[in-house]
Structure 1
Amino acid sequence: MTDLGRKNLSDKLNESVTPDSQKTTYDKAKETVTDKLDSFAARNTPDNQKSFSQTVADKAQIGSEDAKEAAGQKQESLSETASGYVEQAKEAIGNAAEYVSGVVSGANEGAKTGAEATKK
């Protein structure tokens, strides 16, 4: 049972199990709009004005939406952290390459100096 003006619970279930490939563009658009309206109603209608089943369904829906949002924020945070590590790794590799280049150049100069000293 759903409350007046709310999305029917069986409709929600059918929409969630029907693959998007089997839905028309109209169905997808209608589903998006009705989901947004129902989500708004779930968050803005006091529980004492809802039936028991609607209250339970709304709590589950809100919990799911909040979890998805938190996961998205964690994903962004992980992505930012990974980018920071990549930048640090690039810098470390650049420093290492510069060090190796300096060592090779120094060894090369030392070899030239040594070779010239033996010629004298």
Structure 2
Amino acid sequence: MNIERIGSTDRMSKIVKHNDTIYLCGQTASADEWDTAEQTRRCLEQVEGLLLEAGSSTDKLLSVTIYVRDMKDFAAMNEVWDNWIADKPKPARACVEAHMARPNVLVELTVIAAQ
């Protein structure tokens, strides 16, 4: 069994590759001045970069889980998501409300993609 871990720290890896499947750690983009829409845009940019680093692309997305701090921000997140995913193959997706690790994190994404 071959498992490749990229960007590992004592706590986690940014990317894990196994059996032609790529798993990305949770992506957040938080700054006090960024609203939900901007954090979503930044997270999606990070996802694109990590997929490229892993030898994949957004065309190979399998599943995305989106965590939002408050469901009142669901529409703002979805507006950014819908524009971003419009011309891409659609992955399976879930969106849940979650308590975040830091109060200024409004959105977090986890991604699984094919290589």
Same fold by TM-score greater than 0.5: no
TM-score (norm 1): 0.23
Query: For the pair shown, which has the larger CA radius of gyration, 1 or 2?
Result: 1
| Structure with the bigger percentage of helix | 1
Which one scores higher on RCO, CA 8 angstroms, separation ≥ 6?
2
| Structure with the bigger percentage of strand | 2
